[in-house]
Structure 1
Amino acid sequence: MNVMYNQSLYLSKRIQVEDALALVQSGYEVVLGLGAAEPRLFLERLHEEASRVKDVHMVNCLPMGEYAFFSNPSYKDSFLLEGWFYSGAMRKLHHNGNITFIPNHLHFASTKRMQYRHPNIYIGNCSPVDNHGYVSLGVSNVYEKDMVENADIVILEINPNVPRTFGDTEVHITDVDYFIEADYKLPTLPISESNEKDRVIGNYIADLIDDGSTIQLGIGGIPNAVAHALTHKKDLGIHTEMFTDGMVDLVESGAVSGKLKTLHKNKMVAAFALGSQKLYDFIHENPGVSILRGTYVNDPYVVGGNDNMVSINTSIEIDLTGQCCSESVGTRQISGTGGQVDTAVGAQNAKNGKSFIALYSTAEIRNKATGEIEEKSKIVPMLTPGAIVTLSRNDVDFVVTEYGVAALRGTSVRERVKRLIAIAHPKFRDMLEAEAERLMLW
């Protein structure tokens, strides 16, 4: 669209937060921006409408704030929060009875949801208007652009602190119904310091990554350790669901060029960014970063189009046949499937691709009966009852702990049992062998 900025049109679309809240009606489906793209001004006051509306479905993903509309259970008849990926606030407040999880592979999040319910309102944030009348959706395009194109009403909090990003984040003001002017800092994530276990695991993984590979990383101590261990590599590319601080560090180290990528040569591709202010500054007006739709970025067939694709994800526990639970503790939802299956399967679709699942060999768990902290193996004979299988055993490639690497691609259950026990903590290996015999897993 070659339309210059029309200031009078923009001014006619400005409203106050109260006006936006008044648009919410009982029974509506209201979709919110992901992570740092969430509309803070709107959400801070949404609970004020509780006496007026009932059964409003608020749909989000990885929320950063803890807002009264879902933290206060007295509003549960008015608002139901449905999430594609839990954050700490949703995990903590799930017991209120007004929060529920939407099972999904992230690349299908928007399309499958819209097949179920039509979005009445989409509200997120955006960058200021440029000279051509465009705003940028900034830090997230997992489902945001899809919702902008399909919602009955589109509202954006226009914020000078939102970075202007490129790829497929551009939205013309003619495609937005209302703007709320805002000026708040975007939420940031603390950088997780890597410990010795993280560094050992990171080095194991880095040793199996070749120069010229295209990588996908998440956040946390292990991914950060992997990123650090990759700084001596050459000509890496980035095709990732989440753009992180670890990737900025890799770029600054000179390890990333993107010139050997099969898709989007010389471009760093992501669906969203979340991290420090340094990260937001890095992606702002950076033509080397393309924030594209999650329906594309996370599509396993697109991921697999990158030769030498490497996917690195973490898990909570894994059983001796290779089933990975990466999102719950028993029946308790703590995060989400996210893009784990998208990227793990996609990497294995790629020519010379590799997929890694990384986890510590043990975890410290409080015994509910005694109250004491006990060390438990994270490689288990059977998953905890009620645990969600995030990545099926059919889709597991490499499993890595601080005790080594188990290559499971193409192996039988008998061989998997042997290889997974070999990377379990030594104090639990005899127990795992005995349980494998008792359960006849061999």
Structure 2
Amino acid sequence: MELKKRWPKKFWPERAIFERIHPGDRIFVGTGCGEPQHLVGALKRYVERSPNSLLGAEMIHVWTLGIAPCAEEQFRENFRLNSFFVGSRSREAINRGDADYTPIFLSEVPALFRQGSIPIDVALVQTSPPDRHGYMSLGISVDIVKAAVEAASIVVAQINPRMPRIPGDGFVSVEDVDHLVFCDEPLLEYHDPVPGDMARRIGEYVARIVEDGSTIQVGYGSVPNAVLGSLGDKKHLGVHTELFTDGLADLMKSGVVDNSRKTIDRGKTVASFSMGTAATYEYLDDNPLVEFRSIDYTNNPLVIARNRRMTAINSCIEIDLSGQATAESLGGVHYSGIGGQADFMRGALLAPGGRSILALPSTADGARTSRIVPTLKPGSGVTLGRGDVHYVVTEHGIAYLHAKNVRERAMDLIAIAHPDHRTWLVEEAKRLGLIYADQAYVPGEAGIYPEGLETRRTTKAGLHILLRPVKITDEPLLKEFFHELSDESLYRRFMRSKKELSHRWLQEFAVVDYSKKMVILAVVEDEKAGREEVVGIGQYGLLGESMTAEVAYVVRDDFQKKGVGRELLARLTVLAKKQGVLGFVAEVLSTNIQVFRMFQKMGFALETVWEEDGVRELRVHFDDLVGNGEADGIDRVWGGTSRS
């Protein structure tokens, strides 16, 4: 009653308001959880009573979670939806041809409204009550809504006391609104799916990539929700995003997000709209640490790129082996839309130290369908091109695609596909000429990368290294490693000095049946460049049924005498013993005194089996390990400096 007394000319009977809408008008409806449910429901009832009063109208929005009369058969002649995104309420109507989808970067939509390229006749929006200055807040839905309000010929605002007032671009003067309708009703809520084990695993991998002090953008759904849940140990994160979710609110409350390291809008979480629960809306209300900006600001790639260490984290429906992905359709079937994903991924690529991450489950349809495919289905919209993605993450690992050729990309993506689909992907990649025609592959459990065997070590010389099993994708790293070895080191390891770096030869090291053989790489990580450098390789392979294994290792010349070989040999011994191996044999040059000393330092009792032409075969049984003052058994040696 107070509002009606203050602005009596703004309050009309709802029927009188709707009578101003003409056949063929374009009606804009507020986004997502900010949808004015009462207004849309009242318009629906109005048309039900007077079906001929409004024909051929076009209803425009980004996303609806509530009432969707344009998707109902009975209103087919009255409304036709034109959506900038495909949600669950509109998907069926769009795919059967009863509604339209406009593929566009959401950052471009406000300009289209303002320029009249997409004219808006009526805007139905939801706001907070006006303050003492007569300004209402668009609250949780600023995005393209602010531009629609500015461009529309008629603006109808549903005033809802439950709509939070959020600092930023979302304030609208009562004087700029034609009609006011008061309705106190709960805001629509969006409940993120509870992450399962698979989503949590993906989130843990993504958390490895996100650095302290990064500014993040995260989409919606179970995987992004799991990603946010995995960032609890990070420090000084910032947020510049399109969508504000419950997970972001939790990170702000816990202090993980403090926006203290942001390059722009420092101290503020910047978003454009929110889809969450009532608790999140309450947290946003009058919160000085948050700003909701128009989507042509939040999603502008040039603005995004101003954030140092901008990290965009999104998902997709399907990605092919060359790295192009669709987040909007499978073949001719529309599923979602371009949205802001491409804007953020490209903005992140332009940012200093920026990273773009695509996180997705490896399969769909109960693991029967691989989301990593040889090629996208014909007719699929390519949301992200081959140059838009740095990292791809599934529950099976991380693939780094940036600056890699198509063959390397294909191998990296096959390595993180579901094991049940890898053989098919290898064969299809061969058929398409994406990888070597003779590319070897170990199918089944024996060929699955044993990530649990990765460990970090600090050598006695203070060198920090990662010891990990070799991957099928490591061939380029192995080629670099062997190329760096001197002729002397090659001769000691292979008893020849010729550098054979053919694909066929390198596969002997990179393609491993982990049930019969183990190849361990000593790796130095360059976090700034985002790459690894191999400084040593150790391996053992079972000899028939004897449960004895042949062992060998080699260390790059510039990393010798730094404890790398000792760590490799210790790790190989521990893994071999766990596999039931009884002992090692090794063929070494009789003049290779370093190897003899290494075995002795490790506590091995050596037995010379034979010696001929300057080559000696050594044998050691693990039961014959002896203490030598430096190590009392190999397990104690291994445990002494572990940084796992």
TM over 0.5: yes
1:315-355 superposed Cα distances (whole Å, 9 cap, x missing partner): 11100111111122321112111110011111111100111
- Matched residue count: 429
Aligned to 1:406: 399
Aligned to 1:341: 342
Shift of 1:96: 5.6
The 3-state SS of whatever aligns with 1:37 is coil
Aligned to 1:28: 25
Distance (Å, rounded) in 1 between the aligned partners of 2:133 and 2:363: 55
Distance (Å, rounded) in 2 between the aligned partners of 1:167 and 1:329: 37
Distance (Å, rounded) in 2 between the aligned partners of 1:6 and 1:175: 15
Is the 8 Å Cα contact of residues 26 and 59 (structure 2) preserved in structure 1?
yes
Question: What are the residue-to-residue correspondences of 1:6-21 with 2, within 5 Å?
Answer: 8=5, 10-21=7-18
Aligned to 1:441: 434
Aligned to 1:417: 410
Shift of 1:95: 5.1
Aligned to 2:106: 106
Deviation beyond 6 Å, 4+ runs, structure 1: none
Aligned to 1:427: 420
With 113-122 and 152-161 compared, the bigger mean Cα shift is at 113-122
Shift of 1:7: 7.1
Aligned to 2:330: 329
Aligned to 1:289: 290
Aligned to 1:57: 58
Aligned to 1:71: 71
Q: Which runs of 5+ in 1 are unaligned?
A: 366-373
Aligned to 1:183: 184
The 3-state SS of whatever aligns with 2:424 is helix
1:386-405 superposed Cα distances (whole Å, 9 cap, x missing partner): 22211111212211001111
Change over 3 Å in CA distance of 1:302–1:294 after alignment to 2: same
1:410-439 superposed Cα distances (whole Å, 9 cap, x missing partner): 111111111111111122112111111212
Is the 8 Å Cα contact of residues 356 and 388 (structure 2) preserved in structure 1?
no
Distance (Å, rounded) in 2 between the aligned partners of 1:74 and 1:14: 30
Look up the equivalent residue of 2:149 and give its one-letter code. V
Aligned to 1:118: 119
Distance (Å, rounded) in 2 between the aligned partners of 1:199 and 1:89: 28
The 3-state SS of whatever aligns with 1:74 is helix
Question: What are the residue-to-residue correspondences of 1:350-365 with 2, within 5 Å?
Answer: 350-364=351-365
Confirm whether residue 392 of structure 1 aligns to residue 389 of structure 2.
Answer: no
Distance (Å, rounded) in 1 between the aligned partners of 2:15 and 2:166: 29
Distance (Å, rounded) in 2 between the aligned partners of 1:304 and 1:278: 31
With 188-197 and 93-102 compared, the bigger mean Cα shift is at 93-102
Distance (Å, rounded) in 1 between the aligned partners of 2:107 and 2:291: 17
Shift of 1:183: 1.1
Shift of 1:100: 1.1
Question: What are the residue-to-residue correspondences of 1:183-202 with 2, within 5 Å?
Answer: 183-202=184-203
Q: TM-score, normalised by structure 1?
A: 0.93
The 3-state SS of whatever aligns with 2:242 is strand
The 3-state SS of whatever aligns with 1:35 is coil
1:221-260 superposed Cα distances (whole Å, 9 cap, x missing partner): 2111111111111111111100000001111222111111
1:253-300 superposed Cα distances (whole Å, 9 cap, x missing partner): 221111110010000000101111111001011111100000010001
With 398-407 and 327-336 compared, the bigger mean Cα shift is at 327-336
Look up the equivalent residue of 1:35 and give its one-letter code. G
Aligned to 1:302: 303
1:352-400 superposed Cα distances (whole Å, 9 cap, x missing partner): 01111011111116xxxxxxxx701110011123222111112122110
Distance (Å, rounded) in 2 between the aligned partners of 1:209 and 1:340: 18
Shift of 1:62: 1.2
Look up the equivalent residue of 1:134 and give its one-letter code. Y
Greater RCO (CA < 8 Å, at least 6 residues apart)? 1
Look up the equivalent residue of 2:19 and give its one-letter code. A
Distance (Å, rounded) in 1 between the aligned partners of 2:358 and 2:112: 27
With 422-431 and 292-301 compared, the bigger mean Cα shift is at 422-431
Aligned to 2:314: 313
With 196-205 and 35-44 compared, the bigger mean Cα shift is at 35-44
The 3-state SS of whatever aligns with 2:272 is strand
Distance (Å, rounded) in 1 between the aligned partners of 2:342 and 2:40: 31
Distance (Å, rounded) in 2 between the aligned partners of 1:335 and 1:437: 32
Shift of 1:61: 1.3
The alignment's C-alpha RMSD in Å is 1.7
Distance (Å, rounded) in 1 between the aligned partners of 2:402 and 2:56: 47
Larger-gyration structure (1/2): 2
Look up the equivalent residue of 2:39 and give its one-letter code. F
Shift of 1:8: 4.9
Distance (Å, rounded) in 1 between the aligned partners of 2:178 and 2:61: 20
Question: What are the residue-to-residue correspondences of 1:39-58 with 2, within 5 Å?
Answer: 39-47=36-44, 48-49=46-47, 50-58=51-59
Shift of 1:15: 2.1
Look up the equivalent residue of 2:426 and give its one-letter code. E
Q: Which runs of 5+ in 2 are unaligned?
A: 436-644
Aligned-pair identity (%)? 38
Is the 8 Å Cα contact of residues 127 and 161 (structure 1) preserved in structure 2?
yes
Distance (Å, rounded) in 2 between the aligned partners of 1:180 and 1:297: 30
Distance (Å, rounded) in 1 between the aligned partners of 2:187 and 2:13: 20
Distance (Å, rounded) in 1 between the aligned partners of 2:39 and 2:405: 53
Distance (Å, rounded) in 1 between the aligned partners of 2:116 and 2:346: 24
Change over 3 Å in CA distance of 1:95–1:199 after alignment to 2: closer
